[in-house]
Amino acid sequence: MTRKDIKSRLNSSFEIPNAKRAVRGDYNPTQALNGKNLISAAVLVPVIDHPNEMTLLLTQRTENLSTHGGQISFPGGHVEPCDKNLSDTALRESEEEINLSRSKIEIVGRLDQYLTRTGFSVAPIVGVVDPGYEAVPDPKEVARIFEIPLSFFLDLKNYKRHSYTDNGEQRIFHAITYNGHYIWGATAGIIKNFREALLG
């Protein structure tokens, strides 16, 4: 998989206002689109373009956060009035959370909108990052930064279906484990959507 391959496989309409995107997620899309006020957000899906093998950059959130503490995620957050578009949100949040300069990132596409049970409508923005990047975690939000080979996520056998019970209702979600890193929920769902976009 190369930078050119990723560009050729992703839909480049991410900058078009009100572009219609497919909706996926762990929230009921029908219910969400019938009057539910979802919070707009964007995450950066950073692909590190190493000479020998591409990787995905991920973060682990600090334990003290009020939501999703300790979980593995992509850099990202709420859309703010100062943001020009969704890719600008993803770039700004990446600078704030891990000090990843937008000058090191080439935005190459957008994945399908992802709705979460916690009420967010997330736009995953894919960016290819030069391997000489520097990233420093904001200690208030990010405990650590790490990379996982993209080839690992392209192998379907590495995806599992897990479940838990919430208020008497069984919830089923995707989960990925790599060297002790447990990736689940929206992050795992977005990665699976990325795999499908790359491989069809």
Would you kindly state where each structural domain of the chain is located, as residue ranges? 3-149
pLDDT-derived band of residue 37, with 50, 70 and 90 as boundaries?
A: confident
| Mean pLDDT value of segment 29-47 | 74
pLDDT-derived band of residue 15, with 50, 70 and 90 as boundaries?
A: very low
* Range 3-149: architecture per CATH: Alpha-Beta Complex (3.90)
Decide if pLDDT at 178 tops 80.
yes
| pTM for this prediction | 0.87
Decide if pLDDT at 14 tops 50.
no
Query: How high is the pLDDT of residue 10?
Result: 85
Query: How high is the pLDDT of residue 87?
Result: 94
| Mean pLDDT value of segment 68-91 | 89
With CA atoms as reference, report the closest residue to 46 among 55, 33, 35: 55
| Residue 182 or 169, more confident | 182
Query: How high is the pLDDT of residue 129?
Result: 96
| Mean pLDDT value of segment 85-90 | 95
| Mean pLDDT value of segment 149-178 | 83
Q: CA dist 135 to 13, 44, 83, 145, Å?
A: 28, 14, 22, 8
Decide if pLDDT at 68 tops 60.
no
Residues of the chain with pLDDT > 90: what percent?
54
Query: How high is the pLDDT of residue 187?
Result: 93
Query: How high is the pLDDT of residue 27?
Result: 52
| Residue 165 or 37, more confident | 37
With CA atoms as reference, report the closest residue to 125 among 88, 162, 167: 88
| Mean pLDDT value of segment 184-196 | 91
pLDDT-derived band of residue 170, with 50, 70 and 90 as boundaries?
A: low
CA pair distance 93, 115, nearest whole angstrom:
19
